[in-house]
Structure 1
Amino acid sequence: MKTKLRITLVALSTLLLVNSFQIQANTFEKTNSDPEKDKVLIYILRNILTRSHFVVKDMNDDFSEYVFEEFINGLDPNKRYFTQKDLKEFSKYKFQIDNQLLKEDVSFYNLVYSRFTEKIKNAKLYYGDLLASPFNYKKNETIDVDYDKVPFAKNENQLIDYWRKQMKLSTLIRIQDKIEKEKATKKKDKKYKIKTFAQLEKEARAEVLKNMDELYLRIEELEHEDWFSTFLNSVVGAFDPHTTYMAPRIKERFDQDMSGKLEGIGARLQKKGIYTHVFELVSGGPAWKQGDLEAGDIILEVAQGDKEPLDIVGMRLDDAIKFIKGKKGTEVRLTVKKKLDGSTKIISIIRDVVELEETFVKSSIVKKDGKKYAIIDLPKFYISFDDQNYRDSAKDMEKEIERLKSEGVSGLIIDLRNNGGGSLKTAIEISGLFIDKGPIVQIKYRGENPIVKKDIDPKIQWDGAVVVLVNEFSASASEIFAAAMQDYKRAVIIGGNQTYGKGTVQSVLPINQFTKYQKNLGALKMTIQKFYRINGGSTQIEGVYSDIAIPSRYSYMKFGERDLNGALIWDKVKQANYVQTNSYANFADVIFNSKQRISTDPKFKLINEYAKWLKENQDDTSYSLNFKKFTAEKKEQEKVSKKFKSVFDYKSNLEFISPKYEFSLFEKDPVLKDKRVAWHKNLSKDVYVSEALNVLSELKLKNKNEIVKN
C-alpha cells in the first residue's frame, strides 16, 4: 500500500480510537440484534469510505436514493414481499438516508427490516394456499422473470397474483421434467405404466411446497447480522461494485478461499442476497474440467447423485458448501441458473481433489508447417509474499520459456483465457520477459498523479514471435499484460472482442484496526487504485480490445465490468514515455489475413449465429403459463438448440506434446501424464488455438537492426 494511503488510514484509525463514541442502545424486536455494534459499523465505514476510497463521493440525495433502491431490491429481488403502498411509506426516507448515516441513525433500516419480517410471515400463508390445489393450465397468461423490469405490486391482491404465477412456473418446470423422465423410463421398460398428468402435477406441487418450506426455514434461521450486512453492502456498494462489507463469518470464508482451501468441485462461491453465486473456477479442478459451470452462474439446487435435489436458495454459504463438498469420486448434481442466458441447467460433476499443480504455468509443443511452436498456459498471476518457497508465476514463466528455447520453438502463444488476474508484481515482471525495459502500467491513487510501474531489467527472455490469447474472462493483471504487449506492438492479441474490463484494485481492511470496540466487526474490501495503460487509457470498463476478434458464445451478451451497476468510469491519464518495439515486418497483413479467414470460416459463422441466439434468449425473459404453449415453447427451443449441438465440435490435425523435461516427471507421476494427455487432446480440438497458431506461423520478425528499441 502506498505511503500516503497508509498515513491516511493510520490517521483515520487514530481518529476513531480516540473518539469518545458513546451510543445509547435502542431496543429492537430481534433478540440477536446489536444496535450499538450497528452504529459503530456505520460510523467507521462512513469515515473509511469518504476519506480513503478511490472515488470522492458526496453522501447526498443521489447517494441516498441509490442505497434506498439497492437495499429494498436486495431484500426483495423477486418482488414477493413489498407493495407500492410499502414503498410509499418507505419513501419518506428516500432522500434522508445520507443524513441518517451521518448521525449513525438506522431508522430507514429498522422500518424496512421490520416490515420485511412481517412479509416473510405472510409469505408462508400465500404459497401454502396457492399450492394446495391444481393451477389452471389452460389459462392464457405469461410471466416475466426479469424482475428488474417488473414493478412492485400495486396492492396485496396483485402481490398474491405475483406469487401465484411464480409458483405456477415452478410447478410447470417440474411437470415438464417429470414427463420427460416418464418417457425415458417407458423407453427402457415397455411394461412401465406412465403416470397421468394429474398425478405428475400433484407430485410437482408437493415438491415445490417442500422446497418453499425448506427455504423459509432457512430464512428464519438467518440472524440480524445477515440482514444488516445486506444494508451495509447497499451503502458501501454506492461507491463502486467491488467495494463490499464482509461480516465476520463471511470474512472467515474469504480468508479460507484466498488460502487455497477450495470446495470439493473446485469453485469459489459467493453469497449475494439469498443466492449462491459461482465467483471463480479453479483451473484444473473438477468443475473446470467438466466445462459447463461458469463464473456468474447461480446455484439453485444440489443433489447427491440421483437423489432428490435440495433447494439452497436462502441457505447460508457455509451450509450450502457442506452439501456441495464431498468425497473424491462421488457425484454432485447442481441445478444452476446460467449467467449466460438465464436458462436453468442441471450440471453433473464428479468430485475430486483440487490439484494446485493445475493452477501453475504449463506448456505444450506443436509442429506446424515444419516448425515448432509452443503454447504456454498461465491460469493466474500467482505469488506468495509470505512464503518465499511458494511458486512464483514470473519465475515459472522465465524458466518455462528457457526450456522451450532449448527445444527450438519458433513462436509462443500465451494463453490467458479465463485468467482472472492476481499479482501486479508478476504481471510487470512477465511483461518484462518480452521487452528490453520500460513502462508496463500506470497506477493511480485518489487525488494523486499516476505512478508509472516499469520493467527495469534490460534482459529479454523471449525475442521471438508472440500471440496472446484472451477471452471475456481475462481480467485485471491479465489485462495489464495484454495491454502492455499491445501498446508495445510486441504481440498480436487474439480472442473475444474485448477482455473483462476490471481496472481497479481492492484492499481488504479489518475494521477492528480502526477502533477499540471489542466485538468482531468483520472487514471492508475497498477500491483504492485504478490501472491505466502506458498509452494513457484505463483498462476499466473497456478492457483490452483484441487485434483479431473471434466470435464466441459471449460476443453479444451483457457481460463484464461495463455491465455492473455503479462501475467506475473509463478515463485516461497522460501517456507514459515509451517506444514501440515494432517487432514484426508484416503485423498489419497478418491481422488482415486472420480476419478474412474468420469471416469466411463456416465454423466461426456458426459460432456467431449461436452467440446471437444466446443473446435472444437472454433478452426473452417471458414464459407462457399455459401448459400447451409452455411445452411448445420448450420444444421449439430444443429444436433450435439442436442446430448448435455441434457448434464447438472441432478437430485439427495438430499433435501437441509435452516439453522434454516433463518426461522424467511422468515416470514418477503417471497421473500428471494422464492430465497432460487430456490437455493436449483438448488443445487439438480448440478452434481458437488453431487460429492463434495460424497467426503465429505467419508473423515475420524484422531484422534486429530494423527494430526500434527503447
Structure 2
Amino acid sequence: MLKRVFLGLFIAATIACSAAPRITDIDVPGSNNLKPDPRQSLVTKEIAELVTNLGYKKISLNDSLGSVIFNNYLKDLDGNKSYFLASDIKDFEQYRTTFDDDMKNGDLTAAFYMFNVYQKRYNERLQYSLKELQNKFDFTKPETYTYDREKLPYFKNIEESNQSWAKKVKYDYLNLKLSNQKDSVIKANLTKRYDNLLSQSKKINNQDAFQIIMTAFTSSIDPHTSYFNPANAANFNIDMARSLEGIGATLSSENDFVTIKSIVPGGPADKIKKLAIDDKIIGVAQGNEEFVDVVGWRLDNAIELIRGKKGTTVRLKILSKNQDLSATPKIISIVRDKIILEDQSVQKKIKSITKDGKTYNYGIIEIPAFYADWKAMQAGNPNYKSTTRDVKMILDSLKNENVDGVIIDLRGNGGGSLNEAIDLTGLFITKGPVVQVKDYRGKVEVDEDEDPSVSWSGPLAIMTDRFSASASEIFAGAIQDYGRGIIIGNTTYGKGTVQSAIAMKRIDSKFSDKDDQINLTMGKFYRINGNSTQHKGVIPDILFPTVFPADKYGESSEPSALPFDTIRSSNYTKVADLKPTIAELNVLHNQRMKTSKDYEYLLQDIQEFKKKDAETTLPLNEEELKKQRDEQEEKNLKRDNDLRKLRGLPPLKKGEAKPLKEENFDFIQNESMKIMTDYIADPKIAKK
C-alpha cells in the first residue's frame, strides 16, 4: 500500500532574515482593518519551506513566481473586476515582484493591505447599491448590464464603477419585478439582501483574509496543493470521513441568526423531536455552563460551539421561525453523538430494462467520493465508515437480488482517499497492481490489491464525466486496463497528483494551538499501463460528448498543472481483451444515437452552453428581458413534454411542477443499461 510521508522527512531549516520589511499602512478606512497575527507569519514561512523542499513540483520561490502569486491573489479577490479601481491596481504593482520574498519571510503586510482595500471597495459598492434603491428606474430604455467583466479593464475611476453598479442594482430590481413582486416588496427584499451582505462583511476576520492569501500562494505552485485554516480543515476531514460528532443538523446564517435548515434522520436532534426547520439558535451552553449569545455571530464560530465530542451535552436557546428576540426562547438539551452522513455516502438502486421480451436488472451504485473515517479505523472501530466497505455491503445485497450486471456511477466524484481507490478495485479483481505512485524524489512504488477475494465477478460498467477526478480516475483506469469492465461517459478531469495531508501542529509544537493543515502535492500517480491520467484523464470506451469544454473545465485548464508523462508499465495480467467487444458495442450505441431525441437535445445543450458562455451582458429593458425568458421557458417546456411523451408520461402545463414522486430521467444512465444489455444479451458480442 502507499507509504505515508511523515514529518520526519521535513527539513526544519528556517529562512534567514533578509531585508527589513517594507513599511506599509495596513489600515484602510471603510474596511475591518485586518492585521496578520504572529502565528500566520510563522505558518507562511513554514509552508514556503514545505513547498520548496518537499513538493513534487520542483520550484524556486523567485520574482517570477511572486508575480504569479500576485496575479492569483488579485483574481481571487476580484476576478470579475467589479470592485477594484485602476488606481488601486497601480498602487498594488509595487508588491508584484516582492510577493516571493514576503512568503519566505512571513511578511503579510502588503497582502493584508490589499485585502483591506478590497473590503473597503466591497463595502462602498454595497452602500452605493442601498442608495441607488431610492431612485426610480426606467425599464423602457435599450440598456444592457455587463455582468461578466473578467476580460474588461478595471474601472478607471469611481464614476465608472458607479455606472456599472447602478446597472447591477437595476438588474436585481428588474429580476424581482419580473416575478410579479410589488415595488415596496422589491425594495424591502433588496435592502435586506444588501444589508445582510454588509453585515457578513463586518464579520470577516484575519483568518478569512489569510485563507485567501494562502490559496493564492499554494495554487501558484500547483492546483491541488492547498492550505486549510482550522474551520476549513475541520470541514475537509468531515468530508473525508463522511461523519462528525455533533447534534445532527445543518445550519445556515440568515439575518444574523444561526438557523436550522435540515435535520439528519436518526441523529440526536431528530431523536428529541424538539427542533424544527427554520428554528433560530440564539444561545449555546456547554453542559451546565452559562449561555453564550450567538446572535450576529459568524456561522463557523457558532458551529464550533455546537459541535463537540460524542456523549457531551449542549444546551440551545431556540426561537421558532416567526418569533423575534422579544419572545421567550425555549431551552433544549441535546447529547451529542457520532453522525453518519448517509446522504453523502454510497447509494444504490436497482433499475430494469427490457430487450427482445426479456428483462435485465441492474444494480446501480452511486459513489459521490472516496471517503474513509481514518480516526475510527485507527481506534479499532470494526464498523468504521469507508467507500469500499459501503460498496462491498451493497454488492453482497445485489448478488442476493440476482441482478444481471453492476453499474458504478462516478459522475461528479472528485476523488478522495487513494487507498480506497485501491481497495475498491480489489472488489472486482483477484490480485494485482492497481496504481503506480512516483514521489517527489522520483521513486516509483506499485500499490497492489493483495486480497484474492472478489465481491463481484459479473458484467461491470463504470460511468464517468468531466468532474470524475483523482481516485475516480485511478479506479476507472485500473478497471479499463484490466479489461474488467466497460467505461462509459465523458473523459475525466485529469488530476493525476497525490496530496499528503500535513497538520501544522505536527510540524512544530508552536503550532499546537490550532488544527490547520496543508495538503501538499508530494507524488504523481500513474496507471498500471504506465500512462499518467494528468491532463488527459481517462478516455471512456463508449464516449459521450460533454457540455464542459476541456479548455475551461478540468486539469488541462489550470496554468500551474503538472504535465502528462509516462513511466514503465506494471507487470499485470488482463482479465479480458474487451477491444473487439467495445467496437461492437460502439456500433450499436451509435445506431441508437442517430434516432435518439435525448442525444439530439444533448448536442443542442452543448451548443447552447457555448453560446451562453460567450455572453457577457443582459438586457435592462423589461419587455426584452421578459421576452427572452418567456421564449426560453416555452422552449424548455416543449422539450420536456416531447421527452415525456416518448416515455408515456402526461404533458406538463406552463408553471406546473413535476410530480414529487416522479424520478428524473437519466439519459446517460439509461443508455449505459442498454450498452450493458447489448453486452450481456448479444451472443456475437458475449463470445468475443
Taking structure 1 as reference, are residues 129 and 48 closer, same or farther at Cα in structure 2, changes over 3 Å only?
Answer: same
In structure 1, the residue matched to 2:468 is 474
Task: Work out the number of aligned pairs and report it.
Answer: 597
Structure 2 residue identity aligned to 1:249: A
Q: Distance in 2 between matches of 1:354 and 1:402?
A: 21
- Check the 8 A contact 1:445/1:528 in 2, yes or no: yes
Taking structure 1 as reference, are residues 619 and 597 closer, same or farther at Cα in structure 2, changes over 3 Å only?
Answer: same
- Check the 8 A contact 2:2/2:445 in 1, yes or no: no
Taking structure 1 as reference, are residues 64 and 644 closer, same or farther at Cα in structure 2, changes over 3 Å only?
Answer: farther
Q: Distance in 2 between matches of 1:512 and 1:155?
A: 46
Equivalent residue for 2:603, pick from 608, 626, 644: 608
- Deviation, 1:56, is 1.5
In structure 2, the residue matched to 1:218 is 200
Structure 2 residue identity aligned to 1:572: T
Render the CA deviation track for 1:220-263: whole Å, top value 9, x for unaligned: 22122322322122112211232222222333344444442499
Render the CA deviation track for 1:373-410: whole Å, top value 9, x for unaligned: 43241424444433332255445545554555566554
- Deviation, 1:439, is 2.0
In structure 2, the residue matched to 1:492 is 486
- Deviation, 1:176, is 1.6
In structure 2, the residue matched to 1:359 is 345
- What is the SS of the residue equivalent to 2:434? strand
In structure 2, the residue matched to 1:375 is 363
Structure 1 residue identity aligned to 2:196: E
- Deviation, 1:363, is 5.6
Taking structure 1 as reference, are residues 283 and 361 closer, same or farther at Cα in structure 2, changes over 3 Å only?
Answer: farther
Equivalent residue for 1:550, pick from 513, 526, 544: 544
- What is the SS of the residue equivalent to 1:642? helix
Render the CA deviation track for 1:273-321: whole Å, top value 9, x for unaligned: xxxxxxxx99999xxxxxxxxxxxxxxxxx969xxxxxxxx99553798
Equivalent residue for 2:581, pick from 563, 583, 586: 586
Equivalent residue for 1:430, pick from 424, 427, 435: 424
- What is the SS of the residue equivalent to 2:56? coil
Q: Distance in 2 between matches of 1:651 and 1:76?
A: 47
- Deviation, 1:695, is 2.1
In structure 2, the residue matched to 1:191 is none
- What is the SS of the residue equivalent to 1:95? helix
Taking structure 1 as reference, are residues 439 and 131 closer, same or farther at Cα in structure 2, changes over 3 Å only?
Answer: same
* Residue 636 in structure 1 maps to residue 618 in structure 2: no
- Deviation, 1:152, is 0.6
Structure 1 residue identity aligned to 2:405: G
* Residue 242 in structure 1 maps to residue 235 in structure 2: no
Equivalent residue for 1:627, pick from 622, 625, 628: 622
In structure 1, the residue matched to 2:504 is 511
Render the CA deviation track for 1:417-461: whole Å, top value 9, x for unaligned: 344434333322332343343221112222313322223344555
- Deviation, 1:206, is 4.2
In structure 2, the residue matched to 1:69 is 71
- What is the SS of the residue equivalent to 1:209? helix
In structure 2, the residue matched to 1:232 is 214
- Deviation, 1:133, is 1.1
Taking structure 1 as reference, are residues 176 and 263 closer, same or farther at Cα in structure 2, changes over 3 Å only?
Answer: farther
Counting only pairs closer than 5 Å after superposition, residues 8-19 of structure 1 correspond to structure 2 as: 9-12=7-10, 14-15=12-13
- Check the 8 A contact 2:34/2:116 in 1, yes or no: no
Taking structure 1 as reference, are residues 479 and 122 closer, same or farther at Cα in structure 2, changes over 3 Å only?
Answer: closer
Render the CA deviation track for 1:538-573: whole Å, top value 9, x for unaligned: 223332222112356658994344445534333322
Taking structure 1 as reference, are residues 230 and 492 closer, same or farther at Cα in structure 2, changes over 3 Å only?
Answer: same
Render the CA deviation track for 1:671-693: whole Å, top value 9, x for unaligned: xxxxxxx99x859x543333223
Render the CA deviation track for 1:337-394: whole Å, top value 9, x for unaligned: xxxxxxxxxxxxxxxx986287246463747454654324142444443333225544
Taking structure 1 as reference, are residues 698 and 283 closer, same or farther at Cα in structure 2, changes over 3 Å only?
Answer: farther
In structure 2, the residue matched to 1:532 is 526
Taking structure 1 as reference, are residues 62 and 631 closer, same or farther at Cα in structure 2, changes over 3 Å only?
Answer: farther
- Deviation, 1:707, is 11
In structure 1, the residue matched to 2:117 is 115
In structure 1, the residue matched to 2:672 is 692
Taking structure 1 as reference, are residues 106 and 609 closer, same or farther at Cα in structure 2, changes over 3 Å only?
Answer: same
Q: Distance in 1 between matches of 2:215 and 2:496?
A: 21
In structure 2, the residue matched to 1:336 is none
After the TM superposition, which of the residue ranges 442-451 and 82-91 deviates more from structure 2?
A: 442-451
- Check the 8 A contact 1:509/1:523 in 2, yes or no: yes
- Deviation, 1:86, is 1.6
Q: Distance in 1 between matches of 2:87 and 2:245?
A: 45
Structure 2 residue identity aligned to 1:688: I
Taking structure 1 as reference, are residues 373 and 131 closer, same or farther at Cα in structure 2, changes over 3 Å only?
Answer: closer
After the TM superposition, which of the residue ranges 510-519 and 38-47 deviates more from structure 2?
A: 510-519
In structure 2, the residue matched to 1:318 is 300
Taking structure 1 as reference, are residues 573 and 158 closer, same or farther at Cα in structure 2, changes over 3 Å only?
Answer: same
Q: Distance in 2 between matches of 1:122 and 1:396?
A: 51
Counting only pairs closer than 5 Å after superposition, residues 293-332 of structure 1 correspond to structure 2 as: 316=298, 318=300
In structure 1, the residue matched to 2:564 is 570
After the TM superposition, which of the residue ranges 218-227 and 40-49 deviates more from structure 2?
A: 218-227
- What is the SS of the residue equivalent to 1:412? strand
- Deviation, 1:153, is 0.5
- Check the 8 A contact 2:225/2:499 in 1, yes or no: yes
User: Which structure 2 residue ranges, 5 or more long, are not aligned?
Assistant: 254-261, 267-276, 280-295, 308-315, 322-338, 649-659
Taking structure 1 as reference, are residues 50 and 282 closer, same or farther at Cα in structure 2, changes over 3 Å only?
Answer: farther
Q: Distance in 2 between matches of 1:362 and 1:578?
A: 31
Q: Distance in 1 between matches of 2:246 and 2:645?
A: 32
After the TM superposition, which of the residue ranges 214-223 and 132-141 deviates more from structure 2?
A: 132-141
- Deviation, 1:149, is 1.8
Q: Distance in 2 between matches of 1:450 and 1:649?
A: 53
In structure 2, the residue matched to 1:599 is 594
In structure 2, the residue matched to 1:296 is none
* Residue 38 in structure 1 maps to residue 40 in structure 2: yes
Q: Distance in 1 between matches of 2:457 and 2:177?
A: 61
- Check the 8 A contact 1:607/1:648 in 2, yes or no: no
In structure 2, the residue matched to 1:145 is 147
- Check the 8 A contact 1:13/1:514 in 2, yes or no: no
- Deviation, 1:47, is 0.8
User: Which structure 1 residue ranges, 5 or more long, are not aligned?
Assistant: 182-199, 271-280, 286-302, 306-313, 332-352, 654-677
Equivalent residue for 1:541, pick from 514, 517, 535: 535
Structure 2 residue identity aligned to 1:453: D
- Check the 8 A contact 2:473/2:533 in 1, yes or no: yes
- Deviation, 1:535, is 1.9
Counting only pairs closer than 5 Å after superposition, residues 436-451 of structure 1 correspond to structure 2 as: 436-451=430-445
Q: Distance in 2 between matches of 1:555 and 1:696?
A: 27
In structure 2, the residue matched to 1:184 is none
- What is the SS of the residue equivalent to 1:216? helix
Q: Distance in 2 between matches of 1:595 and 1:91?
A: 55
CA RMSD after TM alignment: 4.5
- Deviation, 1:117, is 4.8
After the TM superposition, which of the residue ranges 88-97 and 636-645 deviates more from structure 2?
A: 636-645
- What is the SS of the residue equivalent to 2:673? helix
TM-score if structure 1 supplies the norm length? 0.72
- Check the 8 A contact 2:550/2:556 in 1, yes or no: no
- Check the 8 A contact 2:526/2:533 in 1, yes or no: yes
Query: What is the identity percentage for the equivalent residue pairs of Structure 1 and Structure 2?
Result: 27
